[in-house]
Structure 1
Amino acid sequence: MADVALLLRRAYAPVLARLLRNTRDLHAAEDAVQEAVARALAAWPERGVPDAPEAWLVRVAMNLHRDGLRRRRGEQRNEAALVALAARCPWSEALLSAPDAARWPDDVLRLVVTCCDPVLGLEERAALALSTVAALSTEEIARAFLINAQAMERRLTRARERLRERRKQYEVPRLEEAPERLHAVLAVIHLVFNEGYWSRSDEAPIRHGLTRLSMHLARALDATLPRVPEVQGLLSLLLLHAARMPARTDEGGRPLSLDHQDRSKWDSATIDEACALLREALERGRPGPYQIEAAIAAVHCSAPRAEDTDWPQIAILYESLEQHRPGPIVRVNRAFAVARALGAAEGLKLLATAVDHPALARYPYAHLVHGILLQETGRGELALAALERARDCATNAAERTQIEQRIDALRPRAR
């Protein structure tokens, strides 16, 4: 049953996008897809998954739509089906079969761009698209933005209400309008990949469905808007992370840090493809945050051993990234790179301005880095407190276990 639910969750966005080519009513399309998913959940565990599951779902949903199926708002939903469904989209009459829709060569990418309406703020656009296209829960989206689930639910509600107010003016964006939506689209693709690659789930340290979706979207965006440096930068970044995926977990499926990965398992062909893309982007002389992040990943991938990592170069790149995208998370990463390049004391100086930032209160990596650098400067008791805070903020069992191992190793020396 879990495998079927996962398959349906992955299929949701493509099926919805296909259905939207033939309907002007997004709510009705969602109702039809939801009912198709519910029927699949009832039938497939006993009868088996069909050879072409997405085609099956599209056919059933289309039939339901043609029959005029409408679910009343108060009707009881099939709870099992909800695992596979995204949060509700905001438009009741979206002209998604307009001529401009055909100009977008990829249905799912068009759906992402459609969600990223500039009437909304950047974070609202990204959150709405994550909810709709990636079927992420409110809690998962909230973690990505370092806020609590209640605040994210309010943000999503406001976004839906604002879009409902202007639904009569809503239409599929033209390709010429892509630049004003591009920042949000890139953020959505990046966040989907991160949620898959650094999963919070105990059952799945890597959510391959999300990483595949984000890779598909990044390639589709690069094909639709070729030779755009930041698009190439994002695709390069995702490829460099994906190249390390074969070494990302141990034999027991537990995630491994970069230092502990078997680098012989990295996909050298994918690394070469990513670096070629990055060089092409950087040659245009318009560096942006995704190109810089890709450059950081490329430096990591160029080191044959962890101890060969060019930390001074990474520290310089993080300084540049902070100028393009200032924020507490970038500061934490920069502090760690500086610590490796110049010593833990220098890293702590940078970290001091970020570690107590409200957005990092429940961010385990910030407290983990703080604990490591405190330990390396001989402040055992403070290090222990920071590591215990990191453990309490851990989002899955594997992460918690790794931090506890550090605590156990430090505790006798801290006293």
Structure 2
Amino acid sequence: MVHDTAPRSSSVLRSTSFLRLWTATTASGIATWALPFVLGLAVLSRSITAVELGVLLAARTAGFLAAVPVSGVLADRYARRQVVLWSGLTSAVAAPVLAAFVGDSLVVAAIAAAAMGAGQGACRPAFQALTAEVVEGDQRQQANAAMTLSVRVTTLVAPGLTALLALVVNTEALLLGIGALWLVAALVPPAGTGLTSPGGGNGFVADFWEGVREARRHPWFLAGLGALTAVIATGYSATGVVLPLVSRDRYDTEAVLAGALTAYTLGALAGALLIARWRPRYAGWTALAGLALYGFAPLSLLLPVHPVVVVAAYAVAGLGIELFNVPWFTATQREVEPSKLARVSSLDFLMSYGLAPVGLALIAPAISSFGAPAVLAACAVICFAAPALAALVPSSRDFGPRR
């Protein structure tokens, strides 16, 4: 049973400020996705080696992780719009440097990749906090759904378009195009309402821990973040490592891999469209139930099922992840003290996506030690159990106090 309490106000898509914000976040999302894909194409064209690709992606991840907490503090001290500007410009300037030295000087290219990762990481909490300034409270769920829709559409159509572009332009030109996208992300966003304390602060560490204390005031946030981190570290790792192996060894075709990843994106699109208007009676429990649906992905890889079942499981996982993401972002923007929102958001990104590489690094050795069936079973259990445990926290029912 649900309460259809969708806002009666005009659509957020009629707001010029939101459309500018949406355009900027979409540009940053495309640029973020495109960098590893373009570098992968460079390996195929023999412009760089697989080892160089690994170094560049590692440098990018390191830059991302280093910048996220710094940006959270800065975006709560100063105007979020300015943090977005300098973050985007950092990546925009780094892109032509990477284009000039990729395949030539690995050291300089790695520094440029780290700078691009830093720009990417710095803009995430700032964009999250800026959304709360630009969009009214009753429209934020619709706004967050619109933003995630653009990410999913990009994931669906961009690989083919980029591959076609690679037929007529080289890697350097594609990297310059990524730089242009970062310029859009830097220059297009609107000004916010200024919910910060400009120039204030008691030192970086003290300010960051103040954000941690704010997060601890919300038990639902800590519980949900723990569940999200567990699902990403296990379920995503199974997708990244085991799905290609199962597609090759069990089904003897790459079609299962391609079909599952496409189904995941289509499911996420459906989830974003659904949650844009749906207002569940218990929003938090519904979101956590959606997050638990990811458990069907490793479960489908564990069992000797028809390939259609694997594809369907990934479609369900994609649907569920957006049923979680949109209410999660909306609740964070609603419940967290506005002047500390960027720091809490940075903690979110740092814990959930920051630990994903750890899961990817550990799953292959775990499979070697315990076997794929045991590891997949453990991943499925964690994906189902972590959200269920988070739901036991009373305030998780609504992601905040009951209204």
TM-score by length of 1: 0.28
Which protein has the larger Cα radius of gyration, Structure 1 or Structure 2?
1
> TM-score normalised to the size of structure 2?
0.29
Higher relative contact order (CA 8 A, sep 6+): 2
Pick the structure with more helix per residue.
2
